[in-house]
Amino acid sequence: MSFNELLFDFVTLWVTVDPVGTMPLYLSVTKDMTVAARKRAALRATLIAFLLLAAFLYLGQYLLEAMRIEMISFQIAGGIVLFLFALTMIFDRSSTHQASADAGHDVAIFPLAMPSIATPGALLAVVVLTDNNTHSLFQETLTCMVLALVLVATLVLMLLSSRIMQLIGPSGANVLSRVMGMILAAAAVQMVYSALHGTLGPG
């Protein structure tokens, strides 16, 4: 596997995971937590996302083929899920987060690990980048290492975002959350649009 191929994998995974784009959402869903709780949420979300993406990387294609699900169908479903989640960010109210916390909702799993870090686009990307018909187990493992590097960068950015929270305050986090919701909604529509035109990936 050449350096250019690894670089292509890195860029593809960076774009689909979007470590920078995860920061506004992380700030929004953890704004009422203590600093220690925010760090634990970031660590757990990154680990869960890695396990999920790694599982898809090695087994996703086999699973889809066994269920006779085409990649295009998977992309459309992922786009719809991402769009619905984006709507909850856009029309969110402060009481919604509080109710979720009271109910024991774990933000590290949803929405941080999925669909924010392990986005539908990222799940699709790891399957496409490691086509079992053309890639060996060693090549898939190299791609998995690249994935781990991207997720480490995501974790670092989330941990640093606590300082940003001190600067922008809760109101700023609310604004960022809604702006990010609009961007996610547009990305979700683009995924579905690309799939309807027979193109794999975010488009």
- pLDDT (tens place) for every residue of the chain, 203 residues total: 788 889 889 988 987 888 877 887 888 788 888 989 999 999 999 999 999 999 999 999 899 889 998 888 888 887 887 788 778 778 865 444 443 444 557 899 988 998 889 988 889 889 888 877 778 999 999 999 999 999 999 999 999 987 877 787 767 767 776 887 787 788 788 888 888 888 776 55
Asked whether the whole model's pTM tops 0.85, one would answer no
Q: Residue 153 sits in a domain of what CATH number? A: 1.20.1250
Task: Please list, in sequence order, all residues whose beta carbon lies within 8 angstroms of the beta carbon of residue 107, skipping any fewer than 6 positions away.
Answer: 29, 30, 41, 45, 100
Please calculate the CA angle 46-52-54 and round it to the nearest 5 degrees.
Answer: 95
Q: Report if residue 56 sits inside a domain.
A: yes
Domain count for the chain: 1
pLDDT of residue 202: 55
Q: Report if residue 113 sits inside a domain.
A: yes
What domain range is 34 assigned to? 3-196
What string of DSSP letters covers 98-110? HHHHHTT--TIII
Q: Report if residue 201 sits inside a domain.
A: no
Residues 35, 109: Cα–Cα separation, whole Å: 18
pLDDT of residue 117: 94
